[in-house]
Amino acid sequence: MDLSLPPWLEPIARQLEPWLPALTISGIVMALASFIAIPWLLVRMPQDYFSVDYQPREERALLAWVVWFARNILAIVLLVAGLLMLVLPGQGLLTILIAIMTSTFPGKYRLERAIMRRPGVYRAANWIRRKYNRPPLDYPGGRQGETSDAD
């Protein structure tokens, strides 16, 4: 059996070869972090987080701006990790959802609900909540209290 790379892929593989240990270690670290952070956040999330309208506050004190900035930096790190986890080990879509929930930008809540409407993401989130004896999340866009994973 021939395990050689196609000729067009060999230059790319040579370029990436020095980075393989770092990519492997970062993939393992991100996977471990996601296995801890995602359940921690999902268990503490209110059941109606995706079904209740929310209006962000416009006025902030200096400390609130510092917290806002730190949240958005953390969100960027989580977003990059989530994107990487789409191809590396880890829960990529859930990590991207947590990144979006951590950040603040126009259209954030609409995007969160769109991701949570994906049946696999909705089932995974509620599976984690069920393991910790928490009620299932309300289905986004459904009637108040609806927890069906239809859609």
- Looking at residue 1, its pLDDT comes to 60
- Looking at residue 64, its pLDDT comes to 85
pLDDT one-digit tens code per residue, 112-135: 888 889 888 899 999 999 999 999
Place of tokens 């590396």: 88
Label each residue of the chain as H, E or C. Answer: CCCCCCCCCHHHHHHHHHHHHHHHHHHHHHHHHHHHHHHHHHHHCCCCCCCCCCCCCCCCCHHHHHHHHHHHHHHHHHHHHHHHHCCCCCCHHHHHHHHHHHCCCCCHHHHHHHHHCCHHHHHHHHHHHHHCCCCCCCCCCCCCCCCCCCC
Phi, psi of 47 (to 5 degrees): -60, -35
pLDDT one-digit tens code per residue, 23-68: 778 778 777 777 787 888 889 989 988 888 766 666 778 888 898 8
- Looking at residue 89, its pLDDT comes to 67
What are the domain boundaries of the chain?
33-51+60-151
Mean pLDDT of 81-109: 80
- Looking at residue 41, its pLDDT comes to 83
Length of the chain, in residues: 151
pLDDT of 149 > 50? The answer is no
Least confident interval from 6-20, 60-74, 88-102: 88-102
- Looking at residue 145, its pLDDT comes to 43
**Could you give the percent of the chain with pLDDT greater than 90?**
15
Residue 149 near residue 139, CB atoms below 8 Å? yes
Instruction: Say how far apart CA 144 and CA 129 lie, in whole Å.
Output: 18
Query: Which tokens go with 82?
Result: 């989530």
